[in-house]
C-alpha cells in the first residue's frame, strides 16, 4: 500500500534519473569522439544529437551542444533539469526513500547546480561527466542496497526501465531505422553507438571486436542478460508490474502488466533474422508505442484511477 501520488513521484524519479544518466553518457561519448577530427566523430555527434531529437545537429559546435545538453536549465530535457526534477520528486517522497539514497541524489543535484558547474564542465567536460555518471551509479547502488525492494522501489525501477527501453529504442531507431543511405556502417561510429548504450565491453565479450550492425541490434534488442537491452528492460517492466498489480482489484482497468507481458513475449519470440526481414524500424516503433501505452495504463491503474471504481464497499 502506498499513496498514489507517491507512486507517481517514485516512478518519475526513476525516469528522470535514467534520463540524466543517458544524456550524460551521450554527451560524454560525443565529446570523446570529436577529439579525433574524423568523419566518424561527426557521425557520432549526429547520432547523439538525433537521438535526443535535436534537429539543429551540427549547427553549433559539439562542445556547445554538449554543454547545452548537460547544463542548460531552460531546456527541460537537459541533465541539470532532469536531475532537478528527480530531486524534486525525491523531496516529495522523502519519507519513502532511505537517507542513504536521498543523500546520493542530493550530492549529485548540488554538484550540477553549483555555481562552479559551468567552469568545471568547461575545464574538463569528459571528467565532469564521468563523475556525474559515477554519482548516478552510486545513487542506484544505494537505492538497491538500502531500500526495501517493495512497492516504492518497484515503482522507481519501473520508471527507470521504461525510460531505458524508450531511450535505447530511440537510439537504435536513429541508427538503423532510417533510410538505408543514412544507416551507420562506420566502425568508429558504431563503437561510439555501443558506448552510448554503455554496451561496448559487454558486447566485445560476446561478439569480440567484430562490430557489425546486425550484432549490435541483436545485442541491444534481444540480449537476455545485458541490463540495457530492450528485452532485459521489458522483462523487468513486466516483472515489476506483475508484482505491483497483485493487490489491485478493479474491474475494467487497463491492466498494464498484460500490456507489458505482451511486449515481453513479442521480444522473446522474435530474433534478429525476423528483424532483418521486417526491418528494425517496425519493431523499434512497436517498442516505443507499447511503452507509451504501458505508461498510460500505469496511470489509469495506480495513480489517476476514477474514484467511483474504487470506493469501499
Interface residue list for another protein (CB under 8 A):
1-7, 88, 91-96, 99, 102-103, 106-107, 110, 151, 155, 244, 247-250, 302-303, 305-308, 310-312
Nearer to another protein, 126 or 303 (CB): 303
Alpha helices in 184-229 (DSSP H): 187-196, 200-207, 213-217
Q: Which contacts qualify for 74-77: CB closer than 8 Å, 24 or more apart?
A: 77/19, 77/23, 77/52
3-state secondary structure of 54: coil
Nearer to another protein, 134 or 304 (CB): 304
8 Å CB contact between 291 and 165: yes
CB of 263 vs another protein, minimal distance in Å: 21
Nearer to another protein, 9 or 34 (CB): 9
Residues 16 and 44: their CA atoms lie apart, in Å, by 24
Nearer to another protein, 126 or 138 (CB): 138
CB of 11 vs another protein, minimal distance in Å: 10
Report phi then psi at 124, rounded to 5.
-155, 85
CB of 203 vs another protein, minimal distance in Å: 37
8 Å CB contact between 165 and 287: yes
8 Å CB contact between 176 and 217: yes
Nearer to another protein, 134 or 206 (CB): 134
Nearer to another protein, 4 or 282 (CB): 4
Q: Is the dihedral of CA 194, 197, 198, 203 positive or negative?
A: negative
Q: Which DSSP symbol is given to 197?
A: T
CB of 310 vs another protein, minimal distance in Å: 4
8 Å CB contact between 260 and 238: yes
CB of 240 vs another protein, minimal distance in Å: 12
Nearer to another protein, 5 or 137 (CB): 5
All three cell numbers of 217, joined, read 541490434
CB of 285 vs another protein, minimal distance in Å: 30
Residues 80 and 68: their CA atoms lie apart, in Å, by 10
CB of 179 vs another protein, minimal distance in Å: 40
End-to-end CA distance of the chain: 18
Amino acid at each position: 500500500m502506498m499513496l498514489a501520488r507517491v507512486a507517481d513521484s517514485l516512478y518519475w524519479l526513476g525516469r528522470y534519473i535514467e534520463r540524466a544518466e543517458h544524456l550524460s553518457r551521450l554527451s560524454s561519448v560525443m565529446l570523446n569522439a570529436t577529439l579525433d577530427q574524423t568523419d566518424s566523430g561527426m557521425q557520432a555527434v549526429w547520432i547523439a544529437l538525433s537521438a535526443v531529437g535535436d534537429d539543429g545537429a551540427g549547427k553549433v559546435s559539439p562542445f556547445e551542444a554538449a554543454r547545452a545538453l548537460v547544463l542548460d536549465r531552460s531546456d527541460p530535457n537537459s541533465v541539470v533539469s532532469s536531475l532537478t526534477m528527480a530531486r524534486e520528486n525525491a523531496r516529495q517522497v522523502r519519507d519513502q526513500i532511505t537517507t542513504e539514497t536521498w543523500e546520493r541524489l542530493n550530492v549529485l543535484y548540488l554538484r550540477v547546480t553549483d555555481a562552479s558547474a559551468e567552469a568545471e564542465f568547461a575545464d574538463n567536460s569528459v571528467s565532469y561527466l564521468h563523475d556525474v555518471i559515477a554519482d548516478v551509479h552510486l545513487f542506484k547502488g544505494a537505492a538497491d542496497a538500502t531500500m526495501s525492494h517493495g512497492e516504492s522501489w518497484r515503482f522507481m525501477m519501473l520508471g527507470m526501465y521504461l525510460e531505458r527501453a524508450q531511450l535505447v529504442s530511440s537510439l537504435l531507431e536513429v541508427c538503423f531505422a532510417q533510410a538505408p543511405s543514412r544507416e551507420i556502417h562506420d566502425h568508429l561510429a558504431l563503437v561510439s553507438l555501443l558506448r552510448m548504450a554503455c554496451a561496448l565491453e559487454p558486447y566485445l565479450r560476446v561478439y569480440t571486436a567484430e562490430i557489425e550492425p546486425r550484432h549490435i541490434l541483436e545485442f541491444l534488442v534481444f540480449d537476455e542478460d545485458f541490463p540495457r537491452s530492450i528485452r532485459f528492460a521489458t522483462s523487468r517492466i513486466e516483472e515489476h508490474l506483475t508484482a505491483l498489480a497483485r493487490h489491485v482489484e478493479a474491474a475494467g482497468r487497463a491492466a498494464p502488466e498484460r500490456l507489458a507481458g505482451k511486449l515481453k513475449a513479442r521480444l522473446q519470440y522474435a530474433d534478429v533474422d525476423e528483424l532483418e526481414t521486417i526491418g528494425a524500424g517496425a519493431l523499434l516503433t512497436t517498442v516505443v508505442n507499447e511503452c507509451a501505452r504501458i505508461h498510460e495504463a500505469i496511470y489509469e491503474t495506480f495513480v489517476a484511477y476514477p474514484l467511483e471504481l474504487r470506493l469501499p464497499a
